[in-house]
Structure 1
């Protein structure tokens, strides 16, 4: 996932979270429908108005219950994009249902002969449209659907009376609705811009400047979240330490600019292999850490480690040369090997260094006889279970 797509996802998730902060407008609309519906019912002896008012209040209570359910769900697990989409659809059902109730309220009022009821209907429609447009414009499709189901019946019912004042009222409904559509676009665009800038600033503060991978600060935050999930739900995870073989030799031979390019390529290759809940961070030099979420056993972590090592051992096109490096990894599993980041990093590093010490074909110093020659893999064969790529050795030109 690219940085831009991650920012877009973060902005969308924040949009959904903001939708669920609108508690007071929900209460206001529900109470308005209930009190005015009962008042009109009492004044006109129309039972249907009482039913509509009570229905509107029932929808309001359902929406408030949904908000509390959202708070509970988010406290247990942060939102991801797919979960946010489900919560957005649930909220949309509530907003549009309220719009239907408002439209029904207006229709019933305009069918009554009491002009005071007509005035109340107009006030409720205007108030609902203004509040909904202002509060929920961050998701335009929800507001647009709600305006349609509330304003369209009100316009039709006002025209049903077909006198000058009611026609004027219908025109006002339409004008305010069209003005609301423009306001929706403005609020959405402005909010999206602000959230994007905030997300970009947050990302830069938590990213490695060279590789754009998460830095140690982001690693700690992500680890803490997985640790909470482990404590609450028993979801195990793995910490994988990786470093490159022969990176120093390649850096010395081709220069620091080439070394920086290698690190950026490494970051891209690692990211391509990770699931959405996984994280790869650069913690210094050619040292990287991967935190793998939802790991069922050690074999699953080992499989990811081997796939990353294989990807990092592919050639790097640097300065016209096919530079080949190796990579090694060690892993630790939570909670078996620890529950804190320091404990798991220590265990993973121990495993990494044990592999580098004990493997066949240990890394040799690269001779400086031919600076133009690339690094190539050694022909040594490793045991199948070894957690490293083939060791590197100089070419024949280097040796000579």
Structure 2
């Protein structure tokens, strides 16, 4: 069981960031279980302290209540933060640590309250103390399993901190009991709590694995919906999202972004001569070169056929778009080796700059596309800006 829990915990370290963030959200977001456990422990702790006239129990109870209140405020702060913007994996790890600190502190205090109630001087056959302590141990373990099962390591440590002192106290009561029925009853109570905890940890591992499969499948489908099937480049959906994010991030008047519309030269001749299978292989090869030519913060997308678009962000001057365009021309214009054939194509590029040539994606693509076809009419293999005429000899750009 512990080996499997360890394997599950290690596998969680290899999760995709988006899946990890979603798992943390499933654990940290709920507030009602935290509130319920705090109220329940307050009632039990105060009742035990009153019954046993024990100041230590009272102090432990107030400490647990303080931890629970702090945990509630932490959950509310997390909700406010995630309402502002999506968090990344590093920040999610910070929130998980905060949640774990509250969970472990509360579990340890619950275990201490139960141990104090069971081990301290009291008639060994009294039903009130073992009933309340074991009841709280079961309720807390069940609550942790229902709310934290998606993070098995947290689940296992939390249950161990609360259940172990309670099990030890029940076994101590069983050893002290003079009546065989009382002794067996306490021993059974310890056995039941142990079995519940171990079975719960196994269930937590299964729950975690199922949740991970669902989340990863959902993320895969989401990625597929934003990617071109043939080339793996972004499609129109992702291009628009990236464009909107880039526009929202323009903080200074000097910031610019560029839209580069690309069209492969002589691609139709390749398709007609060698067939669509070779044409598809050529498109995938060209897309790979295009991805390598752009920066990580830029976006390369395929709109269809042999038409591509590049979103270039964080520009200070239009000349940076010209440099990228020439880099793309060199990369895509080099010979391709496909199925034993050497194939040579080129690429023509039209460029529009925001906000000079437009402020919406549609405006910029239309201006860049118009520049591209001016380029193709006058000669292929070059680059033209939306506000410029085509160069006298486009072929020199290859």
TM-score (norm 1): 0.75
> Which of 339, 342, 347 is the equivalent residue of 1:319?
339
Q: Describe the shift of the 1:326–1:182 C-alpha distance in structure 2 as closer, same or farther (beyond 3 A).
A: same
- Which residue of the partner structure matches residue 373 of structure 1? none
Deviations 1:152-200 (A, max 9, x none): 2332333333432333222222111110111012111222222233333
Q: What residue is the counterpart of 2:149 in the other structure?
A: 137
Deviation at 1:83, TM superposition (A): 3.3
SS at match of 1:289: strand
Displacement, 1:346?
4.2
Residue number in structure 2 paired with 1:363: 380
Q: What is the deviation of 1:25? A: 0.9
Distance 1:153 1:54 in 2: 19
For residues 268 and 147 of structure 1, do their structure 2 counterparts lie closer, same or farther at Cα, with a shift above 3 Å needed? farther
Distance in 1 between residues matched to 2:91 and 2:335, nearest whole Å? 39
Instruction: Name which of 29, 45, 51 aligns with 2:59.
Output: 51
Unaligned runs of 5+ in 1: 1-5, 365-387, 393-400
Could you say which residue in structure 1 is the equivalent of 2:361? 341
What is the match of residue 238 of structure 2?
218
Question: Which residue of the partner structure matches residue 183 of structure 1?
Answer: 203
Q: Aligned to 1:72, what secondary structure does the other structure show?
A: helix
Q: How does 1:230-269 map to 2 (within 5 A)?
A: 230=250, 239-269=259-289
Is 2:40 the partner of 1:32? Answer: yes
**Kept in 1: contact 2:336–2:343 (CA 8 A):** yes
The 3-state SS of whatever aligns with 2:167 is helix
8 A Cα contact 1:326 1:391, kept in partner:
no
**1-structure distance, mates of 2:213, 2:268:** 42
TM-score scaled to structure 2, two decimals?
Answer: 0.76
Q: In the TM superposition, what whole-angstrom CA distance separates every residue of 1:305-339 from its partner, at most 9, and x where no partner exists?
A: 55555443443221312323334555556566654
Kept after mapping to 2: 8 A contact 1:229/1:235 = no
Q: Which residue of 1 aligns with 2:190?
A: 170
Paired with 2:228 and 2:220, the residues of 1 have a C-alpha distance of: 13
Shift of residue 131, structure 1, vs aligned partner: 1.5
Distance, in Å, in 2 between the alignment partners of 1:334 and 1:67 is: 41
CA contact (8 A) 1:310 1:389 kept: no
Is 1:297 paired with 2:316?
yes
CA–CA distance in structure 1, aligned partners of residues 135 and 395 of structure 2: 73
Is the partner of 1:102 in helix, strand or coil? helix
